[in-house]
């Protein structure tokens, strides 16, 4: 009989003090096995598993049972099947064969603090005992970058919120695409490749400053039928958009209700954007409560999952807190300096965007300014800062602040509307045009709220469009949608030399 060993990826792993190692004793003639936590936080942890064989095998299967209240919400380098509390992991396809004495590794993100209570490796039962793990310092462990992406599954539902510099949001259904393909050479992603921050600019693989122009989804729990293959084809090919912002609400019927489903839905949209040569901005859409520290553990769990799964991709940008409000810059900075290392442990190269005070107004809506950020910046590299505006509500004093801040800070307008701060009302064409002209002049990237048929002035699509399934042309556009499409579809200027 072939003997299979399941053991920890040992080298260079730092383990959080609260974690434990599960030592698995294999039957008499078999080797030992271990399950080890490589990074942990209050509501979850990351674990790494290595499968090794004494003699060549052409397939493998690992079965784990998790305790009540603990679930595996993401996996890479393996395919996962779930039945109640039982999790079965099989090869991703490319890693089925293991040569004699060789290994293959897979990893997972777990929601909850429980460790596996039982294990089987290729059908052989394993006995579990636990011992304390070695203690560590404060920063998360370096974790393996997945060599192949793994797809999991879709979504859920509910209604919506309101806030002073943020729109109120409305209602609708389910499911998101999950296709993956290499970016065509002439697409935004194909031309620019992996992005980074250089000075105050967003720069491409040629170290040239660029501007991305695109659209934001509405809440995935309400408008998932707006994000289909047909709609994303239209966004990429009819609108010529560079960017899809994926707005994943945390509260309001969002992520907290079903972390696994929302994480999977976000990953599917990342793949769909990549296949169409667009960048994907993963938005952890916090709004109510406004202090991002309320969701710190959820943020660590979510970003550990998506950064591990998408680390090998070149199209992913992370937005770690949508619109902080009712919180000081010191509180926002503290949150950022705890979440960024979780992403960096898996994805050291991606651009990360940090929310700002006063609903991401650089503090202006709180009577402050960007000077507090300039005086006390986040201690991290390759980051940008968020600015949001709604054209009918935020005018010259906000534009003046952006102009001042842009000389010192890398800015990204991850959300803006052509209407009032409520998300409704009439389109303010003059103010919207003034804003877009300013962003073009300063080379600041942007995503418009919102590529949806929400029954509000900020919706780009007429009501009923998403149910109809037709997304091309101008007949299905609202006044806001027509204005944005006309701006976004003009030729990009992506320098390569």
Tell me what the pLDDT averaged over the chain comes to.
83
252: left (phi over 0), alpha (psi -120 to 50) or beta: left
- CATH 3.20.20.80 placement within the chain: 188-488
pLDDT digits (tens, 9 = 90+) for 107-162: 788 888 999 988 888 888 765 544 333 332 223 333 332 322 222 223 222 223 32
Q: How far apart are CA 454 and CA 51, in angstroms?
A: 48
- CATH 2.60.40.290 placement within the chain: 4-132
Q: pLDDT-based confidence at 94, cuts 50/70/90?
A: confident
**Residue 182 confidence (pLDDT):** 57
pLDDT digits (tens, 9 = 90+) for 255-285: 999 999 999 999 999 999 999 999 999 999 9
Dump the DSSP string for 324-358: --SS-HHHHHHHHHHHHHHHHHH-SSS-EEE--HH
Q: How far apart are CA 76 and CA 470, in angstroms?
A: 35
Q: Which residue has the tokens 């089925």?
A: 96
pLDDT digits (tens, 9 = 90+) for 185-230: 789 999 999 999 999 999 999 999 999 999 999 999 999 999 999 9
Per-residue DSSP letter, 293 = G
Strand segments (E) across 133-267 = 196-198, 201-203, 209-210, 213-216, 243-249
407: left (phi over 0), alpha (psi -120 to 50) or beta: alpha
Decide if pLDDT at 297 tops 90.
Answer: yes
Taking the CA atoms of residue 82, residue 84, residue 87 and residue 88 in that order, the dihedral angle to the nearest 10 degrees is: -60
CATH number attached to the domain at 4-132: 2.60.40.290
Q: What's the mean pLDDT in 19-45?
A: 57
According to DSSP, the β-strands at 124-132 and 103-111 are unpaired
**Residue 183 confidence (pLDDT):** 62
Per-residue DSSP letter, 157 = -
Give the range among 171-185, 378-392, 444-458 with minimum mean pLDDT: 171-185
pLDDT digits (tens, 9 = 90+) for 365-379: 999 999 999 999 999
Q: What's the mean pLDDT in 301-308?
A: 96
**Residue 474 confidence (pLDDT):** 96
Q: pLDDT-based confidence at 303, cuts 50/70/90?
A: very high
Which fold, 188-488?
TIM Barrel (3.20.20)
Q: How far apart are CA 221 and CA 462, in angstroms?
A: 19
In degrees and rounded to multiples of 5, residue 200 shows phi and psi of -105, 15
**Predicted TM-score (pTM) of this structure:** 0.74
Q: How far apart are CA 92 and CA 105, in angstroms?
A: 11
Single out the residue of 19, 16, 304 nearest to residue 137, CA to CA: 16
Residues designated as active site: 323, 415
**Residue 418 confidence (pLDDT):** 98
According to DSSP, the β-strands at 71-76 and 103-111 are antiparallel
pLDDT digits (tens, 9 = 90+) for 405-458: 999 999 999 999 999 998 989 999 999 999 999 999 999 999 999 999 999 999
Q: How far apart are CA 302 and CA 262, in angstroms?
A: 9
């Amino acid at each position: 009989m072939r003997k299979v060993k399941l053991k920890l990826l040992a080298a260079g792993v730092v383990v959080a003090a609260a974690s434990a190692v599960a030592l698995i004793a294999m039957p008499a003639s078999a080797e030992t096995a271990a399950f080890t936590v490589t990074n942990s936080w209050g509501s979850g942890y990351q674990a790494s598993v290595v499968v090794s064989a004494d003699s060549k095998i052409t397939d493998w299967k690992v079965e784990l049972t998790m305790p009540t209240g603990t679930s595996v919400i993401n996996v890479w380098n393996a395919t996962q099947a779930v039945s109640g509390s039982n999790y079965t992991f099989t090869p991703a396809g490319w890693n089925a064969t293991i040569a004699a004495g060789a290994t293959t590794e897979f990893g997972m993100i777990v929601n909850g603090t429980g460790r596996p209570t039982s294990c089987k490796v290729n059908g052989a039962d394993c006995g579990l005992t636990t011992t304390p793990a070695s203690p560590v310092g404060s920063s998360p462990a370096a974790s393996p970058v997945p060599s192949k992406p793994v797809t999991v599954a879709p979504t859920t539902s509910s209604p919506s919120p309101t806030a002073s510099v943020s729109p109120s949001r409305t209602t609708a259904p389910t499911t998101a695409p999950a296709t993956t393909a290499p970016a065509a050479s002439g697409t935004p992603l194909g031309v620019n490749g992996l992005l980074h921050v250089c000075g105050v600019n967003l720069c491409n693989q040629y170290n040239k400053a660029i501007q991305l122009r695109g659209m934001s989804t509405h809440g995935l729990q309400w408008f998932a039928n707006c994000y289909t293959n047909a709609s994303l084809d239209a966004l990429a090919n009819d609108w010529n958009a560079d960017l899809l912002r994926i707005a994943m609400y945390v509260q309001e019927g969002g992520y907290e209700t079903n972390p696994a489903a929302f994480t999977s839905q976000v990953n599917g949209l990342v793949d769909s954007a990549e296949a169409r040569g667009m960048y994907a901005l993963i938005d952890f859409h916090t709004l109510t409560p406004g202090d991002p520290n309320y969701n710190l553990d959820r943020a660590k769990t979510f970003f550990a999952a998506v950064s591990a799964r998408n680390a090998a991709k070149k199209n992913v940008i992370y937005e770690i807190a949508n619109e902080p409000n009712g919180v000081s810059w010191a509180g926002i900075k503290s949150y950022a300096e705890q979440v960024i290392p979780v992403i960096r442990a898996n994805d050291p190269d991606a651009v990360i965007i940090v929310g700002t005070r006063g609903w991401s107004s650089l503090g202006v809506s709180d009577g402050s300014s960007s000077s507090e950020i300039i005086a006390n910046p986040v201690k991290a590299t390759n980051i940008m800062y968020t600015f949001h505006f709604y054209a009918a509500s935020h005018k010259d004093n906000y534009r003046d602040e952006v102009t001042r801040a842009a000389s010192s800070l890398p800015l990204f307008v991850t959300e803006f509307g052509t209407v009032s701060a409520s998300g409704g009302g009439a389109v303010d064409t003059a103010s919207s045009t003034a804003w877009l002209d300013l962003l073009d002049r300063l080379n600041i990237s942007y995503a418009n709220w919102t590529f949806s048929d929400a029954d509000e002035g900020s919706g780009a699509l007429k009501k009923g469009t998403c149910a109809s399934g037709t997304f091309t042309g101008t007949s299905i556009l609202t006044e806001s949608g027509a204005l944005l499409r006309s701006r976004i579809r003009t030729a990009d200027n992506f320098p390569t030399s």
